[in-house]
């Protein structure tokens, strides 16, 4: 098979050039060649097209082989460069080879041309592959393979250089750290593939917002950074607002429309740190503060440090608290509005820290969800609640217990089998357990949620839809869910006696639930007037401080025998 060969011939003799072409043709090549004999003509030829090999005479009237080699190297080309010339001294041949020529062939011995060309073409291909591998390694070392943005290592290098420049010019610079709110829920519900596609689109939008002199980087997961050289806090806040504006348009991922929000933390050199590590760490503190406040963007303040340190410390200690007996459950009764009888209890986890005392659930449940600790935490709650249910059953108390699930729990394919195992090991029938989920968890991935809920429901476990009215579920989809109970969110119940709009929502939800064949429970009942109004509206059951606060199991057992809502009222 004839092989095309693009040959640049540096030669002033057309006859000698023709001999080279003929020899290449005899060797099985189809030469596409250009003959040049000056530096200018060779430079133009190199700029105009790609060449496979350069064959150069050593000495020309206006040019020579060493000059041609230097020109080739100066332009950054790594092409086989073979000197083809008349008789020259051995010293000259050695010198030109040391300068970078790949071979030296005498014009009166062109039989060496084909083997030399084949060898050098092969070696050139190997060099290209080696360079490509090196470039790939270098790219992977400094760039994120998913978004093609600089990674953490390159960001730190650029941040260090920006600090040196800012220090020299006595100018500030800004560092912004950003992560996506609820991204883990997207990954858990829609899968990592959709999550990756979303991250790619986020990276593109960040690049469009920033200047050429700025750097957008992906640090890992859903965390991004933006380095703004020679920028003060005012410009940093402006860029943050531009980022939020760019994120407003819905993201389309494989036909799914997603609305994504973000939290940004900002640090300024030299006010908040003099080195990359300090600026990065404090930007992370500010970002966490922004996430906690729901304010979108926060500039670092030293007052934030104690909150960040406490959060990180608590998450580290929660791992041990699960095994060290620091966690316990409180139980809040669920009361029938028609009979006044306790019909079940909701298990709520509490943490008694050995140094900090009682830790509010709001301080560890959400971080546990973000870090993945929610899975072992939920399994502990399930096992403990079912153990208490077993204890009550042994004393004659048939008291169903409810446990809350998170998005990670609901979309864990192992969950149904794990729940079945815990029911069996504790000797509790499936009807003795209710699992509470929220609308937002279900609607994040309806198909997957339906599959898991159907498996749990077929086992005989009760399913309760918590915080109803705050999510986005459609009535059509709600009909398909194996939900036995709807719990009206307390935000509508607490003021329903005084607020007509809230009462209308509560009334409509009760009617909707009953029309769908579901039991309806009102949360947040804190006064008798609310209890009475819910009873008049036909609500089935209620929870709230008016009837009973969450309390330990031992206290609840006593309460069941003494309270007007307890067992004596049956």
pLDDT at 218: 93
CA distance 477 to 509: 16
CA distance 231 to 177: 15
pLDDT at 201: 95
Q: How many CA atoms lie within 13 A of 9 on its CB side?
A: 21
C-alpha distances (whole Å) from 145 to each of 140, 203, 207, 214, 280 are 7, 12, 16, 20, 22
Instruction: Tally Cβ neighbours within 10 Å of residue 140.
Output: 11
Instruction: Tally Cβ neighbours within 10 Å of residue 250.
Output: 11
- Any alpha helices (H) in 28-112, and if so which ranges? 39-48, 65-74, 90-98
The DSSP element (H or E) to which 440 belongs, if any, is helix 439-444
C-alpha distances (whole Å) from 300 to each of 239, 245, 287, 288 are 16, 22, 8, 10
pLDDT at 569: 36
Q: pTM of this prediction? A: 0.51
Instruction: Tally Cβ neighbours within 10 Å of residue 368.
Output: 24
All domains of the chain, ordered by start, with CATH?
3-141 (3.40.50.2300), 152-300 (3.30.70.270), 371-569 (3.20.20.450)
Q: How large is the greatest C-alpha to C-alpha distance in the chain, in angstroms? A: 119
- Residue by residue, pLDDT tens for the chain (570 residues) are 688 999 999 998 899 999 999 999 999 999 999 999 999 999 999 999 999 999 999 888 888 888 999 999 999 899 999 998 876 666 777 788 888 889 888 888 888 999 999 999 999 988 888 888 777 767 777 888 889 999 988 999 999 999 999 999 999 999 999 999 878 778 767 778 888 899 999 999 999 999 999 999 998 889 999 999 989 999 999 999 999 999 999 999 888 888 888 999 999 999 998 899 889 988 988 888 888 777 789 998 876 555 555 666 777 788 888 888 899 999 999 999 999 999 999 999 999 988 888 887 877 887 787 667 888 999 999 999 999 999 999 988 889 999 999 877 887 888 999 999 999 999 999 999 999 988 667 765 667 778 889 999 999 999 998 877 654 444 555 677 888 999 998 878 988 998 887 888 899 889 888 988 899 999 999 899 999 999 999 999 999 999 999 999 999 999 888 877 765 433
SS3 category, 173 = strand
| 523-533 core/surface letters (b: 16 or more CB in 10 A; e: else) | bbbeeeebbeb
CA distance 452 to 130: 50
* Secondary structure of 175-219 as H, E, C letters: EEEEEECCHHHHHHHHCHHHHHHHHHHHHHHHHHHCCCCCEEEEE
Q: Are 300 and 273 in contact (CB under 8 A)?
A: no
- Alpha-carbon Rg for the chain, nearest whole angstrom, is 37
- Burial label, 67 (beta-carbon count in 10 A; 0-12, 13-18, 19+): middle
pLDDT at 8: 94
pLDDT at 443: 62
pLDDT at 302: 72
Structure tokens at 502: 């809230």
Q: Are 209 and 238 in contact (CB under 8 A)?
A: no
SS3 category, 366 = helix
The residue behind tokens 């009682």 is 358
Beta strands in 354-509 (DSSP E): 357-359, 401-404, 433-438, 462-468, 485-488
């Amino acid at each position: 098979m004839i092989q095309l060969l693009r040959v640049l011939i540096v030669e002033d003799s057309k006859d000698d050039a023709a001999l080279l072409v003929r020899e290449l043709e005899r060797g099985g090549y189809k030469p596409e060649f250009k003959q040049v004999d000056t530096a200018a003509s060779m430079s133009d030829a190199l700029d105009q097209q790609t060449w496979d090999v350069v064959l150069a005479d050593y000495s020309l009237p206006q040019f020579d082989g060493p000059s041609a080699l230097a020109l080739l190297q100066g332009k950054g080309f790594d092409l086989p460069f073979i000197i083809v010339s008349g008789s020259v001294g051995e010293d000259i041949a050695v010198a030109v080879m040391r300068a970078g020529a790949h071979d030296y062939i005498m014009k009166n011995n062109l039989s060496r041309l084909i083997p030399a060309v084949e060898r050098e073409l092969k070696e050139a291909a190997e060099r290209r592959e080696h360079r490509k591998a090196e470039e790939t390694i270098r790219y992977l070392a400094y760039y994120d393979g998913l978004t093609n943005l600089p990674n953490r290592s390159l960001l730190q290098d650029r941040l260090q250089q920006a600090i040196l420049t800012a220090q020299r010019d006595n100018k500030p610079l800004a560092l912004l750290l950003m992560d996506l709110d609820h991204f883990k829920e997207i990954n858990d519900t829609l899968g990592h593939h959709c999550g990756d596609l979303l991250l790619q689109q986020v990276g593109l939008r960040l690049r469009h917002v920033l200047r050429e002199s700025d750097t957008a980087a992906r640090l890992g997961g859903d965390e991004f950074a933006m380095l703004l050289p020679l920028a003060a806090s005012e410009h940093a806040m402006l860029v943050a607002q531009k980022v939020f504006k760019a994120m407003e348009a819905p993201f389309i991922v494989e036909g799914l429309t997603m609305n994504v929000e973000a939290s940004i933390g900002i640090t300024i050199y030299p006010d908040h740190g003099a080195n990359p590590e300090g600026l990065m760490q404090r930007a992370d503190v500010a970002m966490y503060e922004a996430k906690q406040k729901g304010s979108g963007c926060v500039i670092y303040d030293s007052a934030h440090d104690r909150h960040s340190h406490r959060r990180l410390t608590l998450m580290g200690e929660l791992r041990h608290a699960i095994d060290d007996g620091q966690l316990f459950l409180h139980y809040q009764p669920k009361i029938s509005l028609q009979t006044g009888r306790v019909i079940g209890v909701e298990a709520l986890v509490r943490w008694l820290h050995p140094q900090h005392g009682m830790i509010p659930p709001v301080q560890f449940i959400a971080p546990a969800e973000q870090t993945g600790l929610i899975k072992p935490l939920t399994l502990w709650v399930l096992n403990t609640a079912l153990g208490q249910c077993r204890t009550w059953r042994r004393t004659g108390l048939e008291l169903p217990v409810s446990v809350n699930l998170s998005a990670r729990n609901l979309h864990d394919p192992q969950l149904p089998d794990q729940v079945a195992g815990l029911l069996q090991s504790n000797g509790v029938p499936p009807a003795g357990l209710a699992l509470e989920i929220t609308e937002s968890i279900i609607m994040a991935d309806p198909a997957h949620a339906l599959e898991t809920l159907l498996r749990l429901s077929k086992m005989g476990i009760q399913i309760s839809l918590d915080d109803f009215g705050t999510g986005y579920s459609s009535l059509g989809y709600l009909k398909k869910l194996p939900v036995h109970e709807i719990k009206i969110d307390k935000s509508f119940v607490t003021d329903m006696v005084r607020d007509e709009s809230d009462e209308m929502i509560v009334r409509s939800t009760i009617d909707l639930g009953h029309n769908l064949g579901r039991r309806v429970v009102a949360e947040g009942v804190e006064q008798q007037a609310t209890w009475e109004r819910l009873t008049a509206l036909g609500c089935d059951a209620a929870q709230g401080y008016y009837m009973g606060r969450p309390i330990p199991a031992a206290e609840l057992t006593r309460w069941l025998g003494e309270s007007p809502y307890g067992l004596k009222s049956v």
